[in-house]
Amino acid sequence: MSEMRFDGRVAVITGAGGGLGREYALLLACRGARVLVNDLGCDGSGRGASGGMAQSVVEEIRAAGGTAIANGDSVSSTDGANAIVAQALDAWGRIDILINNAGVVRGGSLAALSDADYEFDMSVAAGGTMRVTRAVWQRMLDQDFGRIVNVSSGSVFGMGSGISYPGTKAAVIGMTRGLSVAAAMAGRNVKVNVIMPIAYGRLAHAAGEAYAQSQKINFPPHCVAPAVALLCHDEAPCSGEILVIGGGRVYRAFLGVNDGYRGSKDDTVEDVRDHWDQVMDMSQWRVPDSAFEYRDADPGAWDKFKEMLR
């Protein structure tokens, strides 16, 4: 069985100065990719800055015979995102792989959540994903190749009143699905997926030291890297998917719809109440390919929309 290599490919990885991002950078580099290691060098709340973290990973890669450069710009601004991409282009002339790994946890419970903390969380995880992707998107379409891996979180399934972090991560899922459909509509070999990693990292400490130590023992970050590398490879098997990865497991999460209750346009409140078991019945369900296929009011809507865009 041949080894899966990344020779000739250029990867940009945000938040790669430690934890998961570091593991992605090390693995891709040892398989032949040239890697830009971006990290602001802040703590898990986004406070502080140091170029030392990114540079340390670069030195590890170079010591192992790989090729890498460090970057300390912030994904929370357009100028920062553009500078990250420009540095990779200046060094190597192309970008093939983008892993939007940068994220922070600043906002707490809803009652204590300030506008400033909420907006900062959104500006890094969701806004940063958008900004760096925007900076590489057209180039990937033009070269007819791109692999983008975005990072969400299992927190989207609910974590009490802490809504800021899962809110940002849910936004990343929506962006991923949209971009995957856009690339497919354009007929380009650009694949965009999103992961929900289960692994120890800087952000684990926001949930308390006991949780952080449990993550460190049971879910070391290197376990996530192989599946992420597969999603970055020329042979990436999917686009628009949500993968949960951690501790030696890889499984699919998905947005699906069931058959539900098929009533009439004249239904009353009581009609819906009396058929609620059908609304919630999961014996028949499907995973739509796009927003045009999650409903069956017009089965040909997706094809009509694509034809309209031609």
Q: Please determine, for residue 26, whether its predicted confidence score (pLDDT) is greater than 50.
A: yes
pLDDT digits (tens, 9 = 90+) for 206-255: 666 777 777 777 889 999 999 999 999 999 999 999 999 999 999 999 99
Q: Do residues 69 and 118 share a domain?
A: yes
* Shared-domain flag, residues 204 and 261: no
140 lies in some domain: yes
> Is residue 202 classed as helix, strand or coil in its secondary structure?
helix
| Residues forming beta bridges with residue 12, ordered by sequence position | 36, 98
- Pick the closest to residue 26 from 128, 125, 85, 99 (CA basis): 99
Range 24-50 average pLDDT: 80
Q: For a pLDDT cut of 70, what percent of the chain falls above it?
A: 87
Specify whether 301 is located in the same domain as 283: yes
Catalytic-labelled residue, pool 165, 200, 211, 294: 165
What is the per-residue pLDDT for 136?
98
Helices (H), the chain: 19-30, 52-63, 78-92, 115-121, 127-143, 164-186, 209-218, 225-232, 269-274, 276-280, 301-309
Phi (first) and psi of residue 117, to 5 degrees: -70, -40
Cα–Cα distance measured from residue 168 to residue 150, given in angstroms and rounded to the nearest whole number: 12
pTM: 0.89
Q: Both 61 and 175 in a single domain?
A: yes
- Is residue 165 annotated as a catalytic residue, yes or no? yes
- The verdict on 52 and 176 lying in the same domain is yes
Query: Could you tell me the pLDDT band of residue 48, with boundaries at 50, 70 and 90?
Result: very low
Average pLDDT of span 86-103: 97
- What range defines the domain where residue 96 resides? 10-253
Q: What is the pLDDT of residue 43?
A: 46
Q: What is the CB neighbour count within 10 angstroms for residue 27?
A: 19
Are residues 93 and 144 located together in one domain of the fold? yes
The predicted structure's pLDDT at residue 181: 93
pLDDT above 70: residue 294: no
Mean pLDDT on 41-66: 77
Q: Which two tokens stand for residue 300?
A: 């040909």
Say yes or no: 138 and 282 in one domain: no
Asked if 288 and 242 sit in the same domain, the reply is no
Q: CATH number, domain at 123?
A: 3.40.50.720
What does pLDDT average to over the chain? 89
pLDDT tens-digit series, residues 109-156:
888 889 888 898 888 889 999 999 999 999 999 999 999 999 999 989
Q: Which of 253, 268, 293 marks a domain boundary?
A: 253
What total number of domains does the chain contain?
2
Report if residue 4 sits inside a domain. Answer: no
